[in-house]
Structures are given as structure tokens and as C-alpha cells.
């Protein structure tokens, strides 16, 4: 079973969730960006574990469909977080209710790979290429200054685009099966990103974006 838990709990991340930038020296690809950092690691987790994990996503996750312009979106979402996390995005308030055990196991692995603590994850299901995610930044105040976000993809390859807020420069890459993209530094404050709509011939895809959300942030405002 997919249950060999790495010894991540012994790492000391402090209380900020911040990563040590030297972790990314082992990531073979970077995107040439000003005002932010993007690192890519393909074949990020063992193929056998990735296959089991995808099977789990297909069978055990209950997908929610946000309503956009009065209609449910094709893209399904699920959200998991520690109990002390409250995340507000897209007009919704999400309260942490704990973790699916296999998603939690994956969190441990990514914490080790990235050298950063994560306490929430948004899981996205794109049933085919017509499901999309519009331009946005992950810059909610509870994510803090310069958040590190680890985005792991499974299934069909999709184009990931970034657009600079001031210059309008667009940079893109392909996120293929088992590809880990890490967004770090000031990226979220200067760039937006999107998964553009494609044709229905493109198959199913899953994506998990692990974040560190300041605990009890909204209670203290």
C-alpha cells in the first residue's frame, strides 16, 4: 500500500512555512522570470505510487463544482487543510476539516522535496481539455508574503501560462503527468497564471496545489 510515511515530522520548519531556497538546486528546470521563481521537477514521485494515488483520486474524492455565471463549472475541486486554517478565495470561505490520508501522505513527500511546510491543498479535477482555470494569482493575505506553492499534476499534459502584471510578458510551459511545479519568491505578487481551455480530445487531469496558510489568520484580524 501507499503508506510508507517519510520522516518529515522531524524537520523543523519554524512557524513560517518558509522554504530554504537551496532545496530547489536539485530541480532540473527553471523558468526565466523576473520578479518571481518557478522550478520544475518531472517524474516527481515514484511511478507506482503515482498510479495508486491517481486511482484513489478517481474513486475516493468527492468533487465540488463552483458556480460561475449561474452554472456549475466542469472543473471539480476538493480542499483539505489543518483544523486551524481558514482560506478565503473566489468569494468562498473554506474551513480546515482535516486530511484525506493519501493526500496527507503526499503532503509529507512534497514537504521533504521542497523543504517547506504545507497545511492546505486545493485539488483540481479537469475531466477533459475543455475544463480550465482562469487567470489568477494565489495572493490571498492569509498566504502571506512570497508564498511557496507546490503544484503537482497527474494525467493529461496541459499548458500552464504565466503573465506579468505590468509588462504583460507571457511565459509558458507544459505540465505533464507526475510533474511538480514550485512557485516561489515574489511570483504571486507580480504574475498571474492560468490553465487555458483546450479541446475535449485532451484527457483527464488532476492537479494539487499545496500551500502554507497562516493558522487562525482571519480570527486575528
User: What does the chain come to in residues?
Assistant: 221
Asked if 150 interacts with ligand AKG (CB under 6 A), we say: no
From 179, 144, 143, select the one nearest 159 (Cα to Cα): 179
Q: Which of 84, 108, 138, 176 binds ligand AKG (CB under 6 A)?
A: 138
Asked if 107 interacts with ligand AKG (CB under 6 A), we say: no
Q: Which residues of 171-189 are buried (b: 16+ CB within 10 A; e: fewer)?
A: eeeebebbbbbbbbbebbe
CB of 149 to ligand AKG, least distance (A): 7
Q: Which is nearer to ligand AKG, 19 or 153 (CB)?
A: 153
3-state secondary structure of 16: coil
CB of 172 to ligand AKG, least distance (A): 12
Asked if 125 interacts with ligand AKG (CB under 6 A), we say: no
Asked if 41 interacts with ligand AKG (CB under 6 A), we say: no
Contacts of 57 (CB under 8 A, 6+ apart): 123, 125, 154, 206
Asked if 137 interacts with ligand AKG (CB under 6 A), we say: no
Grid look-up 478565503 returns: 88
Q: Which of residues 152-171 bind ligand AKG (CB under 6 A)?
A: 153, 160
Q: Which is nearer to ligand AKG, 110 or 175 (CB)?
A: 175
What's the rounded Cα separation, in Å, for the pair 36 and 188? 8
Asked if 207 interacts with ligand AKG (CB under 6 A), we say: yes
Q: CA-based Rg of the chain, rounded to a whole angstrom?
A: 17
3-state secondary structure of 179: strand
Size of the site for ligand AKG (CB under 6 A): 12
CB of 123 to ligand AKG, least distance (A): 9
Binding site for ligand AKG (CB under 6 A): 122, 124, 133, 138, 151, 153, 160, 175, 193, 195, 207, 209
Amino acid at each position: 500500500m501507499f503508506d510508507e510515511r517519510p520522516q518529515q515530522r522531524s524537520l523543523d520548519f519554524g512557524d513560517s512555512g518558509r522554504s530554504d531556497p537551496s532545496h530547489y538546486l536539485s530541480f532540473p528546470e527553471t523558468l526565466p522570470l523576473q520578479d518571481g521563481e518557478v522550478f520544475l521537477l518531472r517524474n516527481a514521485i515514484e511511478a507506482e505510487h503515482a498510479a495508486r494515488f491517481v486511482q484513489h483520486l478517481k474513486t475516493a474524492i468527492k468533487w465540488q463544482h463552483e458556480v460561475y455565471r449561474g452554472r456549475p463549472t466542469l472543473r471539480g475541486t476538493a480542499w483539505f487543510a489543518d483544523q486551524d486554517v481558514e482560506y478565503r478565495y473566489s468569494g468562498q470561505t473554506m474551513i480546515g476539516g482535516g486530511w484525506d490520508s493519501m493526500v496527507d501522505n503526499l503532503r509529507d513527500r512534497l514537504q521533504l522535496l521542497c523543504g517547506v511546510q504545507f497545511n492546505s491543498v486545493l485539488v483540481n479535477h479537469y475531466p477533459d481539455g475543455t475544463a480550465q482555470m482562469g487567470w489568477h494569482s494565489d495572493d490571498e493575505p492569509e498566504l502571506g508574503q512570497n508564498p511557496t506553492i507546490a503544484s503537482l499534476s497527474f494525467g493529461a499534459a496541459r499548458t500552464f501560462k504565466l503573465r506579468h502584471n505590468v509588462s504583460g510578458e507571457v511565459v509558458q510551459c507544459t505540465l505533464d503527468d507526475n510533474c511538480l511545479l514550485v512557485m516561489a519568491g515574489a511570483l504571486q505578487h507580480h504574475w498571474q497564471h492560468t490553465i487555458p481551455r483546450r479541446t475535449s480530445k485532451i484527457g483527464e487531469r488532476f492537479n494539487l496545489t499545496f500551500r502554507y496558510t497562516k493558522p487562525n489568520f482571519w480570527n486575528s484580524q
